[in-house]
Amino acid sequence: MASLQEQLLKAGVVDEKKAKQLKKEKRKAAKQPKGHVQVDESKAAAAKARAEKAERDRELNRQRQAEAEKKAIQAQINQLITTNAINRQNGEQAYQFVDGKKIKKLYVTNELQAQLTRGQIAIVKLGEAYELVPSAVAEKIRQRDEARVLVLHDKTTEAVDEDDPYADYQIPDDLMW
């Protein structure tokens, strides 16, 4: 009677190369001491490579997800600005503000300038342009990205200091610095 290996070869289930490899592994296992466990270095290396690849894939997914969240936040900010932008056409008064290390100028009406100084509206950055939005919208934008809000004055009631020597002298409304 032929061995199982020979029968499998005749049936075409196993090729000769695979049969020789199995015979070789069987002899190796027989030569090993009984208490010694055989460690296959190629299997260990393959498992290690799979684990490293899985870790790299997880890190890439985290980075992609963070990038997608960042883009979503920027899209939300852009939508807030475009839907709540205040019309500043016919602005004759120049309002100067700082963007980074540059001084920029925005033309607004006298009413808009007064609202800017009282903190009722704010200047925000939309791409390379600047827009005016209500202070409530500017606060929402500031929560998402603080760098996009360029000018938002505190809403302060003008409290007069008791020790102020100039308290009796009022500053004229039409005085421009």
12: in domain: no
Q: What does the pLDDT look like over 124-137, one tens digit per residue?
A: 998 889 999 999 99
- Please report whether residue 4 resides in a domain: no
Structure token pair of residue 39: 């460690």
Number of compact structural domains in the chain = 1
Q: Using DSSP bridges, classify how beta strands 102-108 and 93-99 pair: parallel, antiparallel or unpaired.
A: antiparallel
**Is residue 143 domain-resident?**
yes
Q: What is the pTM (predicted TM-score) of this model?
A: 0.58
User: How does pLDDT run across 25-40, given as a tens digit for each residue?
Assistant: 888 877 776 655 556 7
Examine residue 21 and state whether it is found in any structural domain, yes or no: no
Which residue range forms the structural domain that includes residue 73? 44-158
Q: Which residues pair with 105 in a beta bridge?
A: 96
Residue 14 domain-assigned (yes or no): no
